[in-house]
Structure 1
Amino acid sequence: MGEPVRDGAAMIAGMNPRLDLQPYVFCTGGTPHAEALASFREDEGLSQILPFDAAHEAGYDVSLPMSRIVLEVHSALEGAGLTAAVSRALDRAGIACNMVAAYHHDHVFVPQGDADRALGVLKRLQSEKA
């Protein structure tokens, strides 16, 4: 996979956004779910990102399905600028986003109805930095 990218402009230029076709739901409460893509323990309780079908079967509110866009650049955990640039570009387009940083990649969750438009916004942002 190579070395993580630390420079903000280089992260943006190499982000290669990819739309995951699986819809997800942000859930809270309950116990850890085996199919959780991610989870986080907050003071208020357990938050999880579940595949839509798993969330529905578990009885969670599925009224806001989200799409995930994977930023395929191996972004360094101490790198600066990628999250700000992505969220700013989506904000300018009127698209809500929830950013999740994992070890290798950053993941952008947007309302499912905005997924294609968000992907276009991110591809344009990337081409501006390339």
Structure 2
Amino acid sequence: MSDTTIKKPRPKHLDLKVIRLPLPGFVSILHRVSGAGLFLMLPVLLWLFGSSVGSPEAMAQAKSVVANPLVKLVLFGLLWAYLHHFCAGIRFLLLDMHKGLDLPTARKSAGAVLAVSLTLTVLIGAKIFLG
């Protein structure tokens, strides 16, 4: 190393309220959060599925549970988590194949993941929950 290089002082701590995360980093964190949420809600989803195919009485019970507005909100969140995880997963597979690694393309693909997942969530959620 030459003596002409200037070293920036490294922060002693990371103030998370001050740091502004770039869009690709935000999408990456949301990908992890959505994956964890889907994994943690798997027992509930399996119970709902098992109830829906079990017996007519169990189906009626599952319908009454899903009719609750709070449960609908949670299921809407799970729908977003699934769609975001799917879209971001495709983006990360393309990045693993060295497609779209340059910064402008990475920012555009991160924005596309957010736009597509939110749009699909609204469209599919409206179709499911509003009839």
TM-score > 0.5 by shorter chain: no
More helix by share: 2
Return the TM-score normalized by structure 2.
0.29
Larger Rg: 2
More strand by share: 1
